[in-house]
Amino acid sequence: MFEISKRDGLARLGKIKTNHGALDTPTLLPVVNPKILTLSMDELKECGAQGLITNSYIIYKNSELKKVAEEKGVHGLLNWDGPIMTDSGTFQSHVYGEIDMQPDEILNFQKKIGVDIGTVLDVFCEPETRFEDAKKELEETQRRIEESDKNKGSIFLAAPIQGGRHLDLRLKAAEMASQTNAEVFPIGGVVPLMEKNNFEKLAEVIIAAKKGLDISRPVHLFGCGHPMLFALASFLGCDLFDSSSYAKFASRDSLMFTWGTRNLEELEEFPSEFSAAPDITVNQLKAMEKKQRQKIIAKHNLIVSFTEIRRVKQAIHDGLLWELVENRLRTSPALMKIFSILKREMDWISEFEPAYRYKTPIKTGNESDDRPIFSKLANSFKSGDMVHPYFGKVPNHLSETYPFHPGLLQDDIEGWKMQDWNVDRVQTILDYQFGKGIGKILTKGETDLVVSRKTKRLRNLLLNGEHVASLSHRRGMFILQKKGAELIHKSSKSPKFRVIVDADTAEFNRKGKSVFCKFIEDIDSDLRCMDECIVVTPDDQLIAFGKLLVSPKELGLGQQGMAVRVRSGIKS
C-alpha cells in the first residue's frame, strides 16, 4: 500500500494507495470537524488537500452525524471522494479526561462507515508521565493494537507509537508495533511538545521511534500542522501530517508562515504573498466581519502549508532537503536547538545518506560542517591543485565529480578548470568511487577512452575492447558495465561491493530482473543508497550488476520493494 519512488536520506517521496485514491507523500491531512466546517470541501481541494482526517469519536457521539455516516459512509457524510483517515478519540481523552468508549467499539464503527485509514484507540501518554506509569500505558496501547490488528477487516490500521518523553519506551513501542500488520505508524502524544515549542524533545521522540519502526510503512506525525515543521519532520522520516491548526489559528486571527506565526493585529503589511485573497490589504482584512476574516485566514494558513509541502517534495527531488531544513531551523531559538540533536545522531543519520544527490550540496552556515557529506570529505585528500571552499585540497582530476563539481561555486573554487581525459584521471575517479586500487584494476591492459567530439566529455571506458564502464555526466562518476562488474568481482572478496541474494531467485536476476529486498540474504554494509553494486549468489557466483536503491540500514529495518535496479544479468 506504500510505494516509495525517491529518497533523500530518511525522507522519501511515496504513494499510499487507498480504496478512495492515492496520497502522494509527504502530505498534510487537514482536520475536518463535521460539526464546524471552516472551509468547504472544494476549498480544501483548491488549497491542495488530497485527503482528510476527521474524528470518528465525535461522529459516533453525535446521533445525527452517526446516522448519516452509517447510511452514507464517512465519505458521504463529508461529501469527500478522496482518502479519509479517522482518529479514534484518544486526543479527546487527553483534553477532557477518560472517554466512554471501548477500543473494539470505535474500531468497528470506523470499519462500518468505510474509512480508508482507521486508528487504534490508544492511551495518550503525557510527556510528563513518569517512566513506570508510561510503561504500563504503553503495554495497554500495545494490547489494543494487537487486538485491533486481528479485527481491522479491510481498512488500513494506524498503530500509534506512544511512550511519552521516554526515548527507550518510544523505541520499544516502535519495535512492538512493527511486529503487527498495521499499515501506518502515527507518532502520538507529541502535541503538548509542539504547543510548548519543545522541538528539541520532539526531534528526539521522532528519531527514537524511527530507530525501531519497520521502515517500509509510512509514519504519521500526529498533530503536526505548522509549515515551519514539515521540512524537519520529513527529513527525519515522517510521511503524513495532520492538524486543525489552520482553522484554530484563524479563529484567533493568527497567520501561519514557514518562519512562525503572526497575529493580524501585529501586521502593517503581509510579509509574504497572500494568495488566499490577493487583492486585499492588511487593513481591509482587519475590517472584515469575523466569520469572513476567519475563513480567509484559514485558507491562507492552508495554502502556506501545502506550498511548503510542495517545497519539501521538490527539495527531496533535488537532493537539497538538508539545505531547506537548515534554513528552517534558523528561524527561531527553539528550532535552533535541534542542530545539537542532529549532531548527536549524525552517525545514525549518515547510515541513510545516499552516495550522491542530484544537486551540488551547499553550506548554509556553521552547522553544515556536521553533515556527513562535509564532515567525511573535508580535508580528506593530502594534496590537490584545486582548493574547494568546502573540502579543502582536491585533486584536479575530480573537478567534475560529485560533490566537488562546481555547481554554483565555480568562481569560488581556486584552481578549478575542466580537465582533459586520460587514464590517470579515470583511475583517480574510480579509486575515489570504489576504493583505492580499483582504478588500476579496471584499466590494466589496452585502455580506450571514448570521448564525445562535440562535448569533449568521456562517454565510455573500454579495456581490451570490452566495455568496462560509462561516465554519468550529471555526477561525474562511473556506471558499471559487464566487464567492470566481472573485474570488481574477481578482484574482491565477499561481501565487498556485493548484494547476496537467495539462490532460488538468482535466475531471475541473471535474466536482468531487478532484485527485491525480501530476497537479499546479505549485503556489504559499506554500500550506500545509489551506489554501483554487483549481485551474487550465496556461493559468490556473479549473476548481475546495477544500482543499489536502498541502504543496508533500511534493509535491516524491514524495507520492502525494489533493492537493486539491475542493469544487466550475467549468464553462467
Domains, the chain, ordered by start: 2-241 (3.20.20.105), 341-412 (3.90.1020), 423-482 (3.10.450.90), 492-569 (2.30.130.10)
Length of the chain in terms of residues written: 572
Write down the pLDDT at residue 278.
Answer: 86
E-strand stretches of 48-91: 52-55, 84-87
pLDDT tens figures, 226-245: 999 999 999 999 999 998 99
- How do strand 562-569 and strand 520-523 relate by DSSP bridges? unpaired
Give the list of residues 6+ apart from residue 192 with CB closer than 8 angstroms, or none.
126, 127
Q: In this model, does residue 96 exceed pLDDT 80?
A: no
Dist. CA 25–CA 13, nearest whole Å: 6
Angle among Cα 291, 295, 300 to the nearest 5 degrees reads 145
- Which residue type occupies 278? P
3-state secondary structure of 477: strand
For the ranges 87-101, 123-137, 296-310, 396-410, the lowest mean pLDDT is seen at 87-101
Q: Which of 24, 81, 87, 540 is catalytic?
A: 87
426: Cα within 13 Å, side-chain hemisphere:
26
- DSSP 8-class letter at 33: B
Q: Which pLDDT value is given to residue 407? A: 72
Give the DSSP H/E element, type plus range, for residue 156.
strand 156-158
Q: pLDDT higher for 456 or 292?
A: 292
> Can you say whether the dihedral through the CA atoms of 492, 495, 499, 500 is positive or negative?
positive
| Residue 359 dihedral angles phi and psi, to the nearest 5° | -125, 155
Residue 8 bears catalytic tag: no
Asked whether the predicted pLDDT for residue 14 surpasses 90, the reply is yes
Instruction: Report d(CA 63, CA 67) in Å as an integer.
Output: 6
pLDDT interval class at 559 (50, 70, 90): confident
Q: How confident is the model at residue 25 (pLDDT cuts 50, 70, 90)?
A: very high
- Give pLDDT tens digits for 35-75: 888 999 999 999 999 999 999 999 999 999 999 999 999 99
User: Would you state the pLDDT for residue 274?
Assistant: 83
Residue 30, preceding peptide bond in cis (omega within 30° of 0): no
**C-alpha to C-alpha distance for 416 and 399, rounded to whole angstroms:** 7
Mean pLDDT value across the chain: 93
- Does position 218 have pLDDT exceeding 90, yes or no? yes
Q: Which pLDDT band holds residue 94 (cuts at 50, 70, 90)?
A: low
For position 148, what pLDDT does the model report?
95
445: left (phi over 0), alpha (psi -120 to 50) or beta: left
The arrangement of strands across the sheet holding 219-221 comes to: 27-30, 240-243, 219-221, 185-187
- How large is the C-alpha radius of gyration of the chain? 26
Residue 550: pLDDT above 60? yes
Q: Which grid cell is 256?
A: 501561519
Q: Tell how strand 542-548 and strand 532-536 pair up.
A: antiparallel
**Tens-place pLDDT, residues 467-498:** 999 999 889 999 999 999 999 999 999 999 99
DSSP assigned state of 442: T
Rounded to whole angstroms, how far apart are CA atoms 165 and 189? Answer: 9
H or E, element range at 209: helix 199-212
Please tell me the distance from the alpha carbon of residue 356 to that of residue 319, in angstroms, as a whole number: 8
pLDDT tens per residue across span 341-361: 999 999 999 999 999 888 889
- pLDDT for res 413: 81
What is residue 396's DSSP assignment? G
Q: What's the rounded mean pLDDT across residues 103-125?
A: 94
Q: What does the block give as the cell for 479? A: 556506471
526 Cβ contact partners less than 8 Å away, ≥ 6 residues apart: 496
